[in-house]
Every structure is written in structure tokens, then in C-alpha cells.
Amino acid sequence: MAISDLKLPEGVHAHTFKTPAQLAEELAKAVAAQLNEAIVRQGVATLVVSGGRSPVAFFQSLIKQPVDWSKVVVSLADERWVPVEHGDSNAGLLKKHLLQGPAAKARFVGLYNAANTLQDAADQANQALAELPPIDVLILGMGDDGHTASLFPNSPNLKDALSVESPRRCWPMLAPTVPHQRLSMSRKLLASARYTVLSIQGQSKLNTLNDALAGNDEAALPIRAFLQPTLEIYWCP
């Protein structure tokens, strides 16, 4: 099955690439163009990215693009509730692979804080995100279980985190894999992005996407909440 075989909603566009390296390079060019347009339009651009291993090549390509990083704000769609020095930290990943060289001039708004409980950490992150400018570019990933950001199926706060009514920006979430405790931007905040890309690789992710398109239960496959018009999907085998 190829992504061209999927019945995508009207207004959702798919792009296929031969290799992960090509996908990373073309995604970096597209994101840089969006950031530069935002800077011209409003003087600042806000980029929200996802963590994990998959985006590393994209980060490394992005910092080579011509962007005035001193006018860019960077944040994370989600975070593992571990110190920045921890190997599982998304903020640590960004500091190592994205916020380097010219991109070190960007202002980083992180989600992690060393609170007493995950709920307290989410409350503090919720306050910090009040200072985040409107999101210009959002890069999402997706797990084989249909999660995106840290909006996991069966997580206790999932219903509230997927609500389009709740004004809360950050929710404490639980993941089925270690580290279990996560912080995630809400669906409402993520969906406010001007330009959103879902970047995925491999046949298993394509199968999950196909399953997501076949139903509408967002709690079962949270990625369904984002399969909306203007979404761009970047995929490679």
C-alpha cells in the first residue's frame, strides 16, 4: 500500500519521498519557508516540534536553512517528565540537535519543570505556555497506536486533552511505554497552528493512518483529531 491509495479528507495533502533523508531535507525547506514568511508578516515565528528519534534528521537539515533564528520561538508538542539531562528528554534532544549554531539564538519555551507531581508540572507548563505566541508551524509525529504528541489512547486525561472547549494548554498524560509520565499540549492549542505537518515513515505508520481514516473515534486513535483540512502529510517507506 502507498499513501496515494489512502482516501484522505478533502484539504489534506500527502507527499511521498523515497528516503528518510529526502523527507527530512524537503520538510526542512518547507518549514524554513513558513518561518520566514511568518517573520516577514509579524516579526516573529513560532515553531512547535515533536520529540523522539524520528525528527533528528529533520532538525539537522533545518538548522542549515536560511532562517533568522533570533526571531523564532521554539517549543515542544509534548515532553517526557524527566530532567533535561536525562536521555529521554525531548528538550535535551532539541538542545543537542536543533538549538545549535545559528539556531541557538531561538527562544525556547519548554514544558518540563521539576515540580513535586506530574499535575503540578502540567500546571506550571500550562502557565508558561500562556506566553507562547500563536503557533505558525507545527510538526507532528504518530505512533503505531495512533497517538500524536503525548495524546495516548487510554490515558486518563485523554478526553479532556482532546476537548476543543477546554482552555487548558497543557495536560498531564500517561504513556504505555517508559517514561510513563508525560506533558502534552492540548488538542485545542495544537490545532491552532497556522501550518501543520504530520511526518511519518514506514509501512506500519501507513497502516495506522489507514485505520484512522476508516473511523471517527478520536479516543481510540487520537491522530484522528488532526486529520483536518490544510494538514500536510510527509511520508516515506
Nearest Cα to Cα of residue 32 among 71, 62, 60, 1? 62
Q: What residue has cell string 499535575? A: 119
E strand or H helix that includes residue 166: none
- pTM score: 0.97
The confidence score (pLDDT) of residue 217 equals: 97
- Which residue from 184, 218, 224, 174 is spatially nearest to 48, judged by alpha carbons? 184
pLDDT tens digits for range 136-159: 999 999 999 999 999 999 899 999
**pLDDT > 90? residue 52:** no
Q: What is the largest CA-CA distance in the chain?
A: 48
Q: Which residues does 218 contact at the CB level (< 8 Å), separation at least 6?
A: 162, 224, 225
Average pLDDT over residues 176-204: 96
| pLDDT tens string 95-111 | 999 999 999 999 999 99
| Domain ranges across the chain | 12-236
Contact (CB, 8 A) for 220 and 211: no
Domain 12-236 belongs to what topology?
Rossmann fold (3.40.50)
Average pLDDT in the chain:
97
C-alpha cell at 105: 539564538
